[in-house]
């Protein structure tokens, strides 16, 4: 029974992993707590749903969702990030929150506030291993998540793009001196975070078969918690953090009931911040962030 809960927790956690990784990329590289990420998550799930109900093939529907998220993220880069450099550090955060409110209300206008049933693309197919049940959609999410994160690690560690990204994460001005074209690189990072987040939204819709204008909030904020628990700026930290959050959530529902989820998740976040502020795998901040 506990093993089944653990599996459920890891499956749920894989959704938080993608969002947590997006947050950690934005913080670690751009020093930007990007609160439009929950909105991008919603765009991912919602646009896919709209296209699917419009009769599109699932691959095109997901592609359209990713494209929409990328466009929104570029707008966030232009208006929330670029235009507010040099202002108080809270300003980009607030501006990106404005985008979250904007996206949610646009979705609200389009489809109303109800939960919408997402069509089950994989049928009712489950794996059964030794008495444990694993949903096919959840298993696919988990695998895709890990492939994406491994891919991201390779990109960051091995490629020229990754070297440039790590250079501006370390020191923006030094990177500029070394010939990194920051003006062209930053939009790429925004598109990258949008891809991760929107895919998270698509997988959430596939796994839990529902979308709503506010689907990003709960997941997005737990993604922040995942990022903090793992340590800001650490990609694999965010992965572990997301899985931990998933397990805590499922475990607390199992042990104490659904009302205690927020106490358990955010309580552990708070405790961790007090005991070990830089997270499980993060280094203490050398530069001041925010």
Partner 1 sequence: MSGYQTGVLIILCFNIMAAYAVYLPLVAGQLNLGIAGFMAIGAYTAAYLTTETGWPLAAALPMGGAAAGAIALVVAIPILRTHGIYLALATFALGQVISAVFLNLEVVGAAAGYQVPLYAPPIAVYAMTAAVVLFVVALSQTRFTLYLTAIKNDRLVADLLGLRVRALQVAAFTIGAVIAGIGGGLYAHHFSFIEAQHFSVSLSIYTVLYVLLGGTQTVWGPLVGAIFFSLAPELLRAGESWRYVLFAALIVAFMAVRPQGLVTPTGIRALFRAVGRRAATSRVRS
Residues forming contacts to partner 1 in the complex (CB under 8 A) are 27, 33, 79-80, 83-84, 86-95, 97-99, 101-102, 105-106, 108-109, 217, 221, 224-225, 228, 232, 259-263, 265-267, 269-270, 273-274, 277-278, 284-285, 288-290
**Least distance to partner 1 from the beta carbon of 117, Å?**
23
Smallest CA-to-CA distance from 95 within 77, 70, 107, 108 is with 77
**Least distance to partner 1 from the beta carbon of 26, Å?**
12
User: How many Å apart are CA 184 and CA 73, to the nearest integer?
Assistant: 14
CB of 19 or CB of 203, closer to partner 1 = 19
- 190: exposed, middle or buried (Cβ count in 10 Å: 0-12, 13-18, 19+): buried
CB of 85 or CB of 128, closer to partner 1 = 85
Three-class SS of residue 117?
Answer: strand
Q: Give the C-alpha distances (Å, rounded to integers) separating 44 from 51, 59, 135, 212.
A: 11, 13, 21, 11
CB of 33 or CB of 175, closer to partner 1 = 33
**Least distance to partner 1 from the beta carbon of 229, Å?**
11
**Least distance to partner 1 from the beta carbon of 92, Å?**
8
**Least distance to partner 1 from the beta carbon of 199, Å?**
24
CB of 111 or CB of 144, closer to partner 1 = 111
CB of 125 or CB of 256, closer to partner 1 = 256
User: How many Å apart are CA 43 and CA 37, to the nearest integer?
Assistant: 10
């Amino acid at each position: 029974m506990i093993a089944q809960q653990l599996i459920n927790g890891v499956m749920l956690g894989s959704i938080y992993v993608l969002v947590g990784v997006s947050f950690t990329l934005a913080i670690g590289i751009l020093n930007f707590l990007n609160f439009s990420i929950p909105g991008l998550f919603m765009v991912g799930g919602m646009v896919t749903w709209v296209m699917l109900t419009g009769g599109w093939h699932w691959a095109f529907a997901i592609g359209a969702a990713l494209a929409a998220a990328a466009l929104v993220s570029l707008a966030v880069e232009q208006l929330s990030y670029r235009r507010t450099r040099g202002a108080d550090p809270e300003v980009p955060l607030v501006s990106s929150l404005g985008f979250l409110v904007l996206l949610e209300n646009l979705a609200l206008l389009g489809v109303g506030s109800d939960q919408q049933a997402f069509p089950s693309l994989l049928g009712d197919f489950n794996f059964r291993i030794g008495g444990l049940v694993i949903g096919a959609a959840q298993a696919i999410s988990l695998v895709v998540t890990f492939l994406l994160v491994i891919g991201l690690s390779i990109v960051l560690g091995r490629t020229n793009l990754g070297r440039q990204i790590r250079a501006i994460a370390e020191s923006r001005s030094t990177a500029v001196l070394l010939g990194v074209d920051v003006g062209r690189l930053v939009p790429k990072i925004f598109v990258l975070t949008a891809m991760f987040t929107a895919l998270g939204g698509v997988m959430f819709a596939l796994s839990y078969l529902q979308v709503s204008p506010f689907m990003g909030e709960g997941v997005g904020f737990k993604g922040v918690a995942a990022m903090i628990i793992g340590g800001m700026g650490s990609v694999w930290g965010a992965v572990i953090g997301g899985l931990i959050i998933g397990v805590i959530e499922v475990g607390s529902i199992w042990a104490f009931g659904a009302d205690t989820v927020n106490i358990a998740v955010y309580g552990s976040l708070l405790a961790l911040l007090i005991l070990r502020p830089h997270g499980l795998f993060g280094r203490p901040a050398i530069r001041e962030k925010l």
